[in-house]
Amino acid sequence: MIPEPSGAPAQTMFARIWRRHSVLALEDGESLIYVDRCLIHEGSRPAFQSLDRLGKTLRCPAQVIACADHYVPTTNRERGTGGIDDPAIRQMVESLEHNARRHGCTLIGLDDPRQGILHVVAPEQGITQPGMMICGGDSHTATHGAFGALAFGIGASEVMHVMATQTLWQEMPRTMRITVNGHLAVGASAKDLILSIIARIGTGGATGHVIEYAGPGIRALSMEQRMTVCNMSIEAGARAGMIAPDDTTFEYLAGRPAAPAGALWQSALEYWRSLPGDIEAQFDREVRLEGTQIVPMASWGTSPEQCVAIGDRIPDPLRETDGARREAQARALEYMALQPNQPIAEIAVDRVFIGSCTNARIEDLREAAAVLKGRRSVLPGLVVPGSSAVKRQAEAEGLDYVFQAAGLEWRESGCSLCTGVNGADFLQPGERCASTSNRNFPGRQGPGSRTHLMSPASVAATATLGRIASVRDL
């Protein structure tokens, strides 16, 4: 074990993990941080291009995990990359697989039975573990913080730097603790919790900070729910979001293919138990929420901070005192074709999407299926499992039947309609979608698309009523 200096000041979990990975710290504030896992997808192509240009090789190739997720089709998968009609999109998937093989990365390609969204696959394979420093060429790398890892997104140049050196230059972020007292009420989900947090602190509320989520309301969450919360930390501007590992974490990890086993499991467990922060540790900012008061939420605007309880009305910009926020609200209302003070539950929706690294794990699909069982969706929609393993599990439980009987399409795993880049899954201009994804930015789901972020249960309720709804409306 790593002895801590006696009499050292109380530390946050973040600081403990940061210090453990610090190779060196320059006097001017930058640290060289050692990286345990680097997660990449098709979008990391420029990183390989720069690596080749500089004639560099990977320092720890197997610790670079490459998943085909962003550009993969969600139909015709038996045809492999041949099922991708657009040659430019096919090339994105093929170049990831080619580069990963050539450099010896851990490749989870299109045909792999483990295939899926990076942030669903790495945890379910046991690749993500407590105490790790995980970087990914994707902002939702924050998801992995649910295991008590320090995990954040980086750009392609930084991915290249990590691949070549296994390190990254970083300025130490500030710390924020978000304490959730009281458990979530029945009918409120982890998605409603994180949307409430973002609505409260704002989309830039945690900029420059690493969030540690704490309190009984967090401890009571399953790993899937914790991943949903940490996943959207980036939507609050946070560098990363983390939850201290506990028995829930260890039970989830035990027996996973890439998790340590035997004597190493015991050593790892002992180390993992030493990670949580000291009780007296100080944070730069503290936020407290009452978990019992969390209610189903939906976004109405073009930023994740623009959301309200499903029983509430859309705000009136005229009543907003902050000038920049008022202008942003007015622009969002115009883009979304909505009126000030309109009850959000009156908004008619065109389409639903259940999927993404935020809400496409098995528990999310169970939550949506529980609402749809015995009901019909009056809207067209896609259900896209977060991984091929999630898909198999859902099929074993008969969830695919529930979704299809309700009239929704059951697809193969990928990012699909969250990113809208696979050439097939995107919205038409002006189309309005109730979505379990993470971003409602203008054009996110296709040019001119209108997105309402919600929990899986609320999207399922919306599907049956044709307007924004929660299970409480059924």
Question: Which one of the spans 9-17, 384-392, 406-414, 434-442 is the region binding another protein (CB under 8 A)?
Answer: 434-442
Query: How many residues of this chain bind another protein (CB under 8 A)?
Result: 83
Unique residue bearing structure tokens 């490459």: 66
- Smallest gap from Cβ 143 to another protein, in A, equals 13
Q: Which is nearer to another protein, 89 or 382 (CB)?
A: 89
Residue 165 as a binder of another protein (CB under 8 A): the answer is yes
State which of positions 228-247 bind another protein (CB under 8 A): 234-235, 237, 239
Residue 211 as a binder of another protein (CB under 8 A): the answer is no
Is the distance from CB of 70 to CB of 41 less than 8 angstroms? yes
Distances in whole angstroms, Cα of residue 142 to Cα of each of 137, 227, 349, 358: 11, 9, 30, 11
Which of 183, 219, 313, 325 binds another protein (CB under 8 A)? It is 325
Question: Which three-class secondary structure state does DSSP give residue 229?
Answer: helix
What tokens were used for 370?
A: 């529980």
State which of positions 42-81 bind another protein (CB under 8 A): 43, 45-46, 49, 54, 60, 62-63
Instruction: Provide the b/e sequence for 447-465 (b: ≥16 CB within 10 Å).
Output: eebbbbbbbbbbbbbbbbb
Give me the 439-468 binding string for another protein, x by CB under 8 A, dash otherwise: x-xxxx--xx--------------------
Q: Which is nearer to another protein, 30 or 395 (CB)?
A: 30
Residue 161 as a binder of another protein (CB under 8 A): the answer is yes
How far apart CA 26 and CA 167 sit, in angstroms, is: 14
Which of 183, 248, 250, 258 binds another protein (CB under 8 A)? It is 258
Q: Which is nearer to another protein, 46 or 466 (CB)?
A: 46
Residue 339 as a binder of another protein (CB under 8 A): the answer is no
Euclidean distance between the first and the last CA atom of the chain, given in angstroms as a whole number: 54
State which of positions 366-425 bind another protein (CB under 8 A): 419-421
β-strand partners of 22: 33
For the four alpha carbons of 460, 305, 72 and 143, in that order, the dihedral sign comes to negative
| DSSP codes joined into one string, 250-264 | HHHHTT-TTS--HHH
Q: Which is nearer to another protein, 173 or 215 (CB)?
A: 173
- 71: amino acid identity, one letter: Y
Exposed, middle or buried: residue 364 (CB in 10 Å: 0-12, 13-18, 19+)?
A: buried
Unique residue bearing structure tokens 């299926």: 369
How far apart CA 69 and CA 273 sit, in angstroms, is: 33
Question: Which one of the spans 6-14, 132-140, 177-185, 288-296 is the region binding another protein (CB under 8 A)?
Answer: 132-140
What tokens were used for 458?
A: 């609320």
Residue 132 as a binder of another protein (CB under 8 A): the answer is yes
Exposed, middle or buried: residue 61 (CB in 10 Å: 0-12, 13-18, 19+)?
A: middle
Which of 88, 186, 279, 396 binds another protein (CB under 8 A)? It is 88
Phi, psi angle pair for 232, to nearest 5°: -90, 10
Which of 11, 181, 203, 222 binds another protein (CB under 8 A)? It is 203
Give me the 265-294 binding string for another protein, x by CB under 8 A, dash otherwise: x-xx--x-----------------------
Unique residue bearing structure tokens 């899926």: 116
- Smallest gap from Cβ 175 to another protein, in A, equals 14
- Smallest gap from Cβ 23 to another protein, in A, equals 5
Residue 207 as a binder of another protein (CB under 8 A): the answer is yes
Question: Which one of the spans 264-272, 367-375, 391-399, 461-469 is the region binding another protein (CB under 8 A)?
Answer: 264-272
Which of 302, 356, 455, 464 binds another protein (CB under 8 A)? It is 302
Q: Which is nearer to another protein, 63 or 462 (CB)?
A: 63
Q: For the chain, state the CA radius of gyration.
A: 22
Question: Which one of the spans 10-18, 110-118, 157-165, 274-282 is the region binding another protein (CB under 8 A)?
Answer: 157-165
Residue 23 as a binder of another protein (CB under 8 A): the answer is yes
Is the distance from CB of 413 to CB of 439 less than 8 angstroms? no
